[in-house]
Amino acid sequence: MSVAAIASFLAATYMFIYFKYLFDFSNILPYWKVISTYFSLSLMLAAVYFLAQIKLPKVNTLLISILVSLLAFVSILIPITRMGVFVENAEFYAGFAIPLHFILPMSWLATAPYFLK
């Protein structure tokens, strides 16, 4: 939960600044969707970490770190492929959405080893 709270705070701050100074995508991607996604994803990550700790106790941190990094990298294909289809000002949307895909993994990789011990 701490990782989700940290990531949600960072994402909300990033979104506020982006909406204020560049372009407002709040009708496409509101704050509540990002925050609820971060909380649900962090709970799933914690569950996967817990299962990996039981099944593979020696490599669980490395395995989860690789999984989180790979999923974050693959997930950026979503805003890239939908750029011009559903979004006005698509040139700004990729710059807005792609960093949001890396906030949760960075928060997880930075803080999870301390909280999960």
Question: For the chain, which residues make up each domain, given as ranges?
Answer: 2-115
Q: Of 9-18, 80-89, 94-103, which gets the smallest average pLDDT?
A: 80-89
Looking at residue 10, what is its pLDDT? 92
Looking at residue 85, what is its pLDDT? 59
| Per-residue model confidence as pLDDT tens digits over 34-92 | 889 889 988 888 888 888 888 877 777 788 888 888 888 888 887 777 665 566 666 77
Looking at residue 42, what is its pLDDT? 86
Tokens describing residue 10: 């960072």
Nearest of 71, 72, 70, 49 to residue 60 by alpha carbon: 49
